[in-house]
Structure 1
């Protein structure tokens, strides 16, 4: 380790003892850092490369599609920055910006041209296919547009950056090489996209915007609502309050939100009917984000919703496949079976084949959805049990410093343990659960950062995940007027770094590395404090404090 020393006349008067102990501040563990590294590895690939993203459904129409993996990565990055490493602004901004870049790739949204035709699976009264359109956000498709509007609103909130609020900042270029009459550009920005979404919600009597044609799902409509809240704070408006009144009332009126049980699978607009749930993953996924604005309701529904999906085995929480859970729930509801009995679980496993859906040849994305919900609701024991299970049964893998859970299409092992893993959960869902905190989305909803918030505190500039180090601490302590940073080279190779701490007030600042005084700097005006350091396989604690 080496440090550039700045010598001034005040050096001799400063005690060599570090006034702040880095160990007193929370630190990311190796797995949390590994998830962030994996996100970086995925989106740092050249455009067109989708290594590890590979999905079960070839047309990007299932719940493990690129868009969902990217969106969940963005939310995990946002939660990690807001709750765990708030001073590492540039580090997270560069990563977040790269995720949005990938989200705008045609490989991510081009499926919509086919999907826009409609289909009998979700519109049973359909007599002929509709005329298709390529614009992925102008109508329906909230399963893409809802995530994109939140990703860009979250970016603006976290970094006070209006990049995606500028006209044309969200432009979709439809230009298949050998199809069509030439390139078409569909031009939007964050606010125009929000307007399109909520205009459709109003047209649909506030029950929500369709994902696939004719089908409104509860989960995908949570994301634009959270986006509107962040935009309200930036714009000084209060549109969200009125929207939520209308939205929640419509959900109840149309049977999409009850006092117990899973949320219906979807609401069919033409048939004006809520179709019953086939699995619990969408309910869990919705709860992970609905809790931001409807926490009391979500907590009140928890026990009835997880029954059969989360079971106790030898005092440990276990996640069951949808077919087993549905059989379990039927035994409890219709045969008065004991939901806490192993006999009920054994019977459910025997009956499970009857509950396999013939319409969908793919398993649901259960791991990521349930873990995201458990992290948000603060269900510590259940979350810990399932994360331990993931590490012992789901083949965790490390690649270039990144942690992920590789795809496995097999549902069960010989002991009936669920070992199925799809890329949404394996690449980003489990990582989100580890990086989020209890009430993480709720806290961000209630206290989003503002421009004033960010302007009032120092931050670290000039470091990115591309520099080859993991960021384990990055926080500003206002009371002690100290910046605490912990770095480690993920590969163990020496990394020579130079970075700046911005927004420090003028005066004398001392820099300690692993408790040793290394630098004394007299700052004048708004000039940032420059630090050079070498980092290898041993963690390096850097403390910069005012004298």
Structure 2
């Protein structure tokens, strides 16, 4: 039986945080890029033409998935069907040959990765079976994240991750490589063991689903290997490179790799990561007269050297910075032709560390100086290959940072990855937690709230169309406990119904330029 109640909603909606315009814009940009027809890579072109460098498709795609993941887990946990299609499309993009086909050439190897090499290796196309952890590791985390967030075993099924190697005019015929999430993990574990446990790992979510303890076993060996190889250099930065054949490391003079590692290593090594922040950020990030700035590695290196010779002065010193900038003008430019996606790495790191002053300062700088651009409701920062501007301030914007890194940082929360590591969603949790179905970014609607308040017995969504057009949607509340439920639209009751166990309830609403609040509440 359905009837219309008369009492207005007695719930203070301001208690519930919502996405701001920029956060919603980043999510829509993720959606816009993921929704492109296969083979189109608009706004994703990279510095290095062979997909070998750090702004390659695979890094953009995976970080968009991680950004969507933290947004769902921390900010919009009731909107499963908004995020599930988005992350699934990103996984689909990750399986495109344009993303992983670089490996055939890269597997030839060379003297950059092995200075003693005189002869190239016989190449192989399979992007999973050996090495290539910077593709396979991301694919593992993406598919494990998908299973954890949505309790969906699609990528745990045999042959659910298929790679078709079928170039037209070379080779002796097409090859197909078949994996699933668990065989992918097994391949990575085999490579980690082969290389003495120096590498990356993302097995925690699978442990929770399988009732295993693989991640703890791996981390014990991983930490030991890190200590033995001295992966933390005397300057506090993580080493840039480990030469496998020579068993030697290369020290770092840039913050990029360290920042990227910290953004995710905070999950299982938080005390160490946080203890190193001041030493690692010195010179690269300054907060002077209320201005937060990220500095070119040449300037930062000189700044760090000058601080070594200084006695008991603030690590954020205007005079030292000015001296470093003057001295940097006489230093020859960096010869390596491609820039690291440093801005994106650093801002992801700051978001995970909860460094709100530095994070907001760099976001403000990006909005003021790095040409924020809106397209079809999506927000991104366009590419600029210049390292600094005429005044010496940061100017570089790569596709990783502009498409994914900044968006990730805005959508993340302090200790965001760590909280997901410590308390991943389980099958039992998702089986009973109320959520809202039948909403999707493809409807032209931005979703600003989406949560379940167990104390108030209220399931809440806030939405608006991205372009002001009127759109009709029908949110469906699922996993509602048995009882009488009232549906409110903008505080007004529009529907009252008895729900069975487990039950669902829907309402049709028109969404336009103004925000619309929809609340399902048990009486």
CA–CA separation in structure 1 for the residues paired with 2:113 and 2:171:
28
Say which SS state the counterpart of residue 503 (structure 1) adopts.
strand
What residue is the counterpart of 1:296 in the other structure?
Answer: 271
Residue 352 of structure 1: CA displacement? 2.9
Question: Taking structure 1 as reference, are residues 518 and 91 closer, same or farther at Cα in structure 2, changes over 3 Å only?
Answer: same
Say which SS state the counterpart of residue 168 (structure 2) adopts.
coil
- The alignment status of 1:115 with 2:115, answered yes or no, reads no
What residue is the counterpart of 1:286 in the other structure?
Answer: 261
CA–CA separation in structure 1 for the residues paired with 2:175 and 2:473:
44
Please list, as runs of the form range in 1=range in 2, the aligned pairs for 1:400-479 lying within 5 A after superposition: 400-479=376-455
Say which SS state the counterpart of residue 119 (structure 1) adopts.
coil
Question: Taking structure 1 as reference, are residues 119 and 125 closer, same or farther at Cα in structure 2, changes over 3 Å only?
Answer: same
**Residue from 148, 153, 160 that aligns with 1:169:** 160
**Residue from 184, 188, 191 that aligns with 2:179:** 188
Higher alpha-carbon deviation: 274-283 or 259-268: 259-268
Higher alpha-carbon deviation: 446-455 or 309-318: 309-318
The Cα offsets for residues 186-216 of structure 1, whole Å up to 9 and x where unpaired, read as 11111111111011111111122xxxxxxxx
Please list, as runs of the form range in 1=range in 2, the aligned pairs for 1:6-155 lying within 5 A after superposition: 7-8=2-3, 11=4, 14-155=5-146
CA–CA separation in structure 1 for the residues paired with 2:452 and 2:436:
10
The Cα offsets for residues 277-298 of structure 1, whole Å up to 9 and x where unpaired, read as 1311110000000000000000
Question: Taking structure 1 as reference, are residues 185 and 337 closer, same or farther at Cα in structure 2, changes over 3 Å only?
Answer: farther
Please list, as runs of the form range in 1=range in 2, the aligned pairs for 1:204-353 lying within 5 A after superposition: 204-208=195-199, 221=200, 225=201, 227-257=202-232, 261-333=236-308, 339-352=315-328
Residue 526 of structure 1: CA displacement? 3.6
CA–CA separation in structure 1 for the residues paired with 2:429 and 2:129:
34
The Cα offsets for residues 390-409 of structure 1, whole Å up to 9 and x where unpaired, read as 11001101101000001111
Residue 413 of structure 1: CA displacement? 1.9
Residue 241 of structure 1: CA displacement? 1.2
Residue 375 of structure 1: CA displacement? 0.4
CA contact (8 A) 2:71 2:412 kept: yes
5+ residue gaps, structure 1, are: 1-5, 209-220
Residue 266 of structure 1: CA displacement? 1.1
TM-score, scaled to structure 2:
0.97
CA–CA separation in structure 2 for the residues paired with 1:187 and 1:110:
15
CA–CA separation in structure 1 for the residues paired with 2:510 and 2:72:
24
Question: Taking structure 1 as reference, are residues 516 and 131 closer, same or farther at Cα in structure 2, changes over 3 Å only?
Answer: same
Higher alpha-carbon deviation: 517-526 or 81-90: 517-526
5+ residue gaps, structure 2, are: none
What residue is the counterpart of 2:497 in the other structure?
Answer: 521
Question: Taking structure 1 as reference, are residues 314 and 16 closer, same or farther at Cα in structure 2, changes over 3 Å only?
Answer: same
CA contact (8 A) 1:229 1:240 kept: yes
Residue 523 of structure 1: CA displacement? 2.0
Residue 7 of structure 1: CA displacement? 4.0
What residue is the counterpart of 2:361 in the other structure?
Answer: 385
Higher alpha-carbon deviation: 332-341 or 186-195: 332-341
Say which SS state the counterpart of residue 51 (structure 1) adopts.
coil
Residue 470 of structure 1: CA displacement? 0.3
CA contact (8 A) 2:80 2:150 kept: yes
CA contact (8 A) 1:22 1:543 kept: no
CA–CA separation in structure 2 for the residues paired with 1:373 and 1:543:
35
CA–CA separation in structure 2 for the residues paired with 1:340 and 1:86:
39
Residue 445 of structure 1: CA displacement? 0.4
Residue 342 of structure 1: CA displacement? 2.4
Aligned-residue Cα RMSD (Å) equals 1.6
CA contact (8 A) 2:287 2:358 kept: no
Say which SS state the counterpart of residue 177 (structure 2) adopts.
strand
**Residue from 346, 349, 365 that aligns with 1:373:** 349
CA–CA separation in structure 1 for the residues paired with 2:508 and 2:316:
58
What residue is the counterpart of 1:200 in the other structure?
Answer: 191
Residue 71 of structure 1: CA displacement? 0.6
Residue 337 of structure 1: CA displacement? 10
TM-score, scaled to structure 1:
0.93
Say which SS state the counterpart of residue 299 (structure 1) adopts.
helix
Residue 346 of structure 1: CA displacement? 2.5
**Residue from 381, 386, 394 that aligns with 2:370:** 394
Question: Taking structure 1 as reference, are residues 523 and 89 closer, same or farther at Cα in structure 2, changes over 3 Å only?
Answer: same
CA contact (8 A) 2:352 2:413 kept: yes
CA–CA separation in structure 1 for the residues paired with 2:397 and 2:230:
32
CA–CA separation in structure 1 for the residues paired with 2:61 and 2:31:
11
Residue 332 of structure 1: CA displacement? 2.9
Say which SS state the counterpart of residue 243 (structure 1) adopts.
helix
CA contact (8 A) 1:259 1:301 kept: no
CA–CA separation in structure 2 for the residues paired with 1:486 and 1:312:
36
Number of residue pairs matched by the alignment: 521
CA–CA separation in structure 2 for the residues paired with 1:66 and 1:334:
42
What residue is the counterpart of 1:216 in the other structure?
Answer: none
CA–CA separation in structure 1 for the residues paired with 2:73 and 2:287:
33
CA contact (8 A) 1:376 1:437 kept: yes
CA–CA separation in structure 2 for the residues paired with 1:7 and 1:453:
30
